[in-house]
Structures are given as C-alpha cells and as structure tokens.
A and B are shown apart, each in its own frame.
Chain A
Amino acid sequence: MNVQNQEDGFLEIPHSADLALQVWAASLSGLFIQAAKGMYCLLRIENHEGSEVFRKMDMQEIDFENLLVSFLNELLVDLQLNKKVYDQFHLEINHPELIGDLTGKKISGVGREIKAVTYHNLKIAKTKSGFQTTIVFDI
C-alpha cells in the first residue's frame, strides 16, 4: 500500500474481515484528499485513461467525521454508478461545510468492491503536524 510522503499520506492497516486505512495530512483538506486517494488505492482502479470528468461538491454535516464519511461515500457511489475517479481535488473545508472542485477520468472498472465507508471508531485527531484518522471500509 502506498505511503505518499511524510506530511500527507495513507497506509492500509490490518483488519480481520474488512479494510482499514490510516490517513494523515498537514491540513484538513489534505486529510480528505489522502483519504480519497487511499480509498481509490484499496479499490484497485483499472485503466485510468478515459475521458476527463469534473464534479462540484457542496456538503454540510454535523461534524468533520460525518463530512469525511459523506465525502468518501459520494466518491464511492460516483465510481460505482458512473465509473468516475478523481485525481485533482480543490477542497475548501470550513466546519461543517465542504466545497469542492474535482477533476478526474472515466475508468473501465475496479478490482475490488467496497460496500460502504463506516463510522467505526472514527475520530479525526489533531496532531503536532496536522490531522490523522483511521477509516474502516466494509467490503
């Protein structure tokens, strides 16, 4: 599993039945972006060379954790229904709202199915260098 760089990144961590991802970043928007990239990595994206796609997002939730789950679930459903994957993210996150401009590609398929992003023990923690969280995905 990819570890991006020391400041922002993600790492798959063991889980008995499902999948879990540890994510960290210097900023909250960076954390959301790394979580998205990590989820795509778990999904094993196939053929990233389709036509270019764009998406605008505007989401409001009761807290950052809800915002993160909703953001990832939106990406998941967009992938499952429309085969769209994004690799460029411009996110503005101001509690409890996310405004985003996303650019990506149509893909041919994925190598693994994720049923849902869960809230299991989800906590976005503030660290010395930024933010960190662990996300469990139901597969």
Chain B
Amino acid sequence: MVRLQDFRKISEFEWEIPRSIRKDMRGNVRVFASYEMLEKGLQDRSFEQAVNAATLPGLAGNVAVMPDVHQGYGFPIGGVAATLLPDGVISPGAIGYDINCGVRLMASFIHFEEAMPYMEELTNRLYFECPSGVGSVSSLKLSRSVLEKVCHEGSLWTLKNGYASNEDLDLTEDQGCLQGADPMNISPRALERGMPQVGSLGSGNHFIEIDRVEQIFDTAAAQAMGLKENCICLMLHSGSRGLGHQICTDYVHDFQRVSQKYGIQLPDRELVCAPLSSPEGKAYLSAMRSAANYAFCNRQVLAFFARQVFESVFAGKIKNPFLHLVYDLAHNMGKVETHLVNGKKEKVFVHRKGATRSFGPEAEGIPQRYAKIGQPVLVPGSMGTASWVLVGTQTSMQKSFGSACHGAGRVFSRSQAKREIRGDELRNRLMRAGIYVKAGSLSGLAEEAPEAYKDVDQVVECVIGAGLANKVARLKPLAVIKG
C-alpha cells in the first residue's frame, strides 16, 4: 500500500515515490500532480500499480504518472514506463486491451451560431452514420485479405481506398502506419472479431463530440492547427475494437508461460512480459503494431463518415462545411523511441497506457506543420465539461519520455455513478445546458457522468505546471454521441 508519507515533493506539480520503498522496484515513480490530485490518486490503487510497473525488467529511468491517473488492471491508467533495448521487456498489459485507443480532432471554420439550428440533426445523423454501441459493426464489410492489408498499412489503406487525403496521413501520429506490423502473428479469432468493425465507434467511454472553440490561449499554435475561436470542431475517441482486445487477450495468456520461461518474477500476473529481443516479444510487437494500424484506419474511416454527415447536413446552408484534421493520436501504445536516460541517449520501448505523446518542437516524428510549435496533445474532458488542446514541450522530453495526460481520469466507480446518477436525468441536465446527447444506453450514459471524473481543468493545470505541455485552446461541448 502506498501512503502519502511515501512521496517526496520535488515541486508544486511533481512528486516522487523512491525505489527504496519496495525492494523489487527498478526505478522511482514520478507523479505529475498537485497535492489535491495526489490525494485523489490515493483513493484507489493507482500508485500501487505504478510501483508494480517500476518492477518491469530492463526499466529505463522513472515510471511517469499523469494527473489523470486512476486504477487500471496491472498497470495504472495514466502511466508511462520505458524499457531499455534490446533486452528490456514488452508487456501487453502495460499497453492495454484497446491497443491504440486514441483521439482525433477535426476542426472547421463554421461559426457555432450558424451551426446551432442544425445541431440536433447533426447529432442524430452522426449517431446513425458512425455505428456505436455494444458490438457495433461498420457498413464496411472487409474480407480477411483486406483486413490483413489494413493491419499492414493502417491509414495508407484508407488513402488508397478514398477515405483519406495525404494531409490526413501527414497529421496522424506515425502517419497512421507503424512499420513492422505482421498479421501472421494475429490469431484467426482476433481477425474474425476485427473483420466487421473497421469504421465503428464501440461503447464504454468511446464517443464523438461536437465542440465549440471557446477560448484560444496560443494564437500562433491555434493558427497552425486551423483552430478558430467560436468555430465548431469534432472530436472522436475509439480504438482497435475486438481485434485489439483479442490480440492482448491472446498474448497476456501466452505470456503467462513465457514470463516463467525467462525467469521473470512480477508482483501482478497482468504485467506478464517478454524480452523485446525474444521471439515471443517480437511476435507480440508485430501483432500490437497490426492492431495499432487497424485503429488508425478505424478512426480515419469514422472521420470520413463524419465529414459526409457535415457535408450533407450543411449542404446549401454553410459555404465551407469541411472538417480538416488537426491531429490523431494514440493513448494506449508501445513505441520504440530515443530518449535521454541518465544523461545518455538511449533507444527505449515506451509503454503508454492512458497517456499520450507530448513531443516538443523539433522532435523527431512530429508533422512538419507542427515542427516549430510541438505536437498537438488532445485532452478530452468528461461529458458536458470541457476538452483541451495543448502542445508538447521540450520539458516533457526530459521528464516523462515525451508524454502527457490523456483525459480527465475517473474518480469513482461505474456502480457508484449508476447509484448516484440517473441516465435520463443526466441527459436532461445536459440538454438544459445546451448539449445535445444521443446515447445507445441510458445506464451507460450514467456511468460516464461528469461527476465520475476529475476536473479536466485541474488536470490540465497540473500538466502545464509540470511543464509537460502548453495550452492552446479550450473546447466546450455542444453535442455528445455515445454508444
């Protein structure tokens, strides 16, 4: 059990759990949070899970923990852990079941007052055209051979098939395609689950949101991103659907034996792992990359559907209804990157689970358009509150393997949310606040109530205070579509 007295204060927004508190830790845990957020994190087992993550063999530097941290399974949501190449480990559970779950932001030059008369129609059409909900399937029916191409090519497949532009690929993390994907390392069952779901949102905390750019904090960065005050934008949150879930399930299962084979002792079997240099580690890496490519493709196809809806609803009413891509990023992902570890440039494998990249200006791998300002960091808040657009910093490269928060972070459980909040009342409350809601399930809506999450503004203040990102714009929701 991690206690408040186990933390050493580094600064107002930075705390450390030293490796001396438990013998099996291979590095410290560095938490980026205010005192208030730290106390919230102590309400569940988040920090104990971060300490467990610090036991991963080959750990490089500190485990980083974001202010939106909450308890996950094995590895905390909001955690970042890097391992040294070539023999450090790769852990499927430290990336999560929804591989490359991520967020895409598209912006327009439509003033929100022009759009408001059509908001209900827009919401209903998006709900209809972008399949959401439990087990939702897409209107795209892919054969197995096409699915394997999707796993190989990611967003490139959408470009070849008319769902994307070159600009869309340029503004997607890794251009929407991780090299080294190999669908041969995916089980037939995973492929079967993935086949009908390219272009579907899913359920749980996945959503589409129409927002208004409420306030701009960095004019130059906002201009580079095409964000204009009071104009509307669309944010969507989805991942690799059943394909990714099954890949993680398969490898967490197989790695139960593999960890034993390599003599790896862990405090939680959900953290099972294999050396990156091992055949098993390489197989999972190539399967994970396949799922990541699938997820990039999924979000691009959903974006295509959303653009069609905008064009159709605003035809003859608005001059330019086009939704241009600001950025698409992952927040459950594993990547080979180069970072400073103990003052030395090292190749590491960075596990980010519920954390996004936050690469600063001139960093390798960010789009040319953002080379001078740093990459966009997209932070969706809870339903009905606000979302943020930030940019990555040089400081994040030094402190957190170039990472920042991914959202608001839950504070109480789904069962508590359902006990305390009624779905119909929540929907009415949001409607009274001027937010259209279209949800497949009222109980699912209640589970995602704003009260169940931390205050996203406070989370962002911690990230800014710690120097992991800078503010660009605050977005205010106008409509929410949930599965």
Contacts and interface: CB of A to CB of B under 8 A. Distances in A.
Interface stretch (A15-23, A50-58, A98-106, A125-133): A15-23
A16 B447 CA distance: 11
A18 B72 contact: yes
Contact of B441 (A66, A111, A119, A139): A111
Contacts of A139: 204, 414
B384 interface: no
B332 to A, nearest CB: 11
A94 to B, nearest CB: 20
A111 B444 CA distance: 8
Contacts of B219: none
Report, as a range, how many residues of chain B touch the other chain. Answer: 35 or more
B208 to A, nearest CB: 17
A15 B452 CA distance: 12
A119 B256 contact: yes
A77 B256 contact: no
Interface string B131-150: 00011000000000000000
A95 interface: no
B189 A77 contact: yes
Contacts of B203: 112-113
A73 B245 CA distance: 11
B411 A70 contact: no
A113 B135 contact: yes
B369 to A, nearest CB: 34
Contacts of B444: 111-112
Given A69-B253, A109-B134, A120-B270, A16 B412 contact: yes
Report, as a range, how many residues of chain A touch the other chain. Answer: 20 to 34
Interface string A73-93: 100010011000000000000
Interface string B188-208: 010011000000001110000
A16 B410 contact: yes
A80 B195 CA distance: 13
A65 B97 contact: no
A115 to B, nearest CB: 4
B251 to A, nearest CB: 11
B134 A116 contact: no
Contact of B70 (A17, A109, A112, A122): A17
Contacts of A19: 414
A112 B277 CA distance: 38
Contacts of B269: 65, 119, 122
Given A77-B246, A113-B203, A66 B74 contact: no
B27 interface: no
A18 B134 contact: no
A12 interface: yes
Contacts of B96: 138
Interface in B205-263: 242, 245-246, 248-249, 252-253, 256-257, 260
B193 A81 contact: yes
B245 A18 contact: no
Interface of A: 1, 12, 14-19, 44, 62, 65-66, 69-70, 73, 77, 80-81, 109-113, 115-122, 136, 138-139
7 contacts: A12-B415, A16-B70, A16-B412, A16-B413, A77-B246, A109-B135, A112-B444
Q: Shortest 5 CB-CB distances between A and B: which pairs?
A: A120-B73, A14-B413, A118-B73, A120-B270, A115-B245
Given A62-B256, A110-B135, 13 more contacts: A14-B416, A16-B411, A17-B413, A18-B73, A70-B253, A73-B249, A113-B202, A113-B203, A116-B252, A119-B74, A119-B272, A120-B72, A122-B269
Interface of B: 44, 46, 70-74, 77, 93, 96-98, 134-135, 189, 192-193, 202-204, 242, 245-246, 248-249, 252-253, 256-257, 260, 268-270, 272, 410-416, 441, 443-444
